[in-house]
Amino acid sequence: MDRDSLYRETFPIKGDDFERGGEVATRVKALLQQLGLPRDVIRRLSIANFEAEMNVVMYAREATLEVLVFPDLIRVQVVDRGPGIADIDWAMQEGHSTATEAMRARGFGAGLGLPNIQRNTDEFEVKSDAGVGTTLRYAVHTTPRPKEG
């Protein structure tokens, strides 16, 4: 189980809402800046949050993005209601996408979102339940850690 977080806040995301797509990532960025976190931590989390948010907009019905602040890391959980991801290994490969032509016309669908989230975070986990939804959990450490091993 997680230790108690110092602070947590939940943000709703609506599927198909391209108008507001990216707003949650922007609001979370402001929150992280208020907390006085290092620029690189904010940058990496903002990339991950934007990609996760846009995946909900494009592929799911709705979601909540929850930010949990711990003394030494920021954890984010994005729990959506939607189709789920049929083949996670496939979806995690760079360039793999089921984006429609309309999504590509908006500049999305390069198939780099999930790999980018993984690359920018210290912990990353994706779970999917077909017909129910997808849960992403990722975290970025806020204090330097000694290398393991």
Residue 110 touches which of ligand ADP, Mg ion, none (Cβ within 5-8 Å per kind): ligand ADP
Instruction: Write down the least CB distance from residue 107 to ligand ADP, Å.
Output: 10
CB 77 within 8 A of CB 26: no
The C-alpha atoms of residue 72 and residue 18 are separated, in whole angstroms, by 34
Alpha-helix runs per DSSP H in 1-149: 23-34, 39-59, 88-91, 101-105, 113-120
Instruction: Write down the least CB distance from residue 74 to ligand ADP, Å.
Output: 20
102 is written with which tokens? 């309309």
Residue 5 touches which of Mg ion, ligand ADP, none (Cβ within 5-8 Å per kind): none
Nearer to Mg ion, 5 or 26 (CB): 26
Give the footprint of Mg ion on residues 38-57 (CB under 5 A).
55
* Chain residues that interact with ligand ADP, rule: CB under 6 A: 51, 55-56, 58-60, 80, 82-83, 85, 91, 96-99, 108-114, 134
Residues 111-143, buried b or exposed e (16+ Cβ, 10 A)?
bebbbbbbebbeebebebeeeebbbbbbbbebe
Q: Which DSSP state fits 111? A: S
Nearer to ligand ADP, 30 or 105 (CB): 105
Nearer to ligand ADP, 28 or 85 (CB): 85
Instruction: Write down the least CB distance from residue 33 to ligand ADP, Å.
Output: 25
Instruction: Write down the least CB distance from residue 99 to ligand ADP, Å.
Output: 4
State CA 99 to chain mean position distance: 18
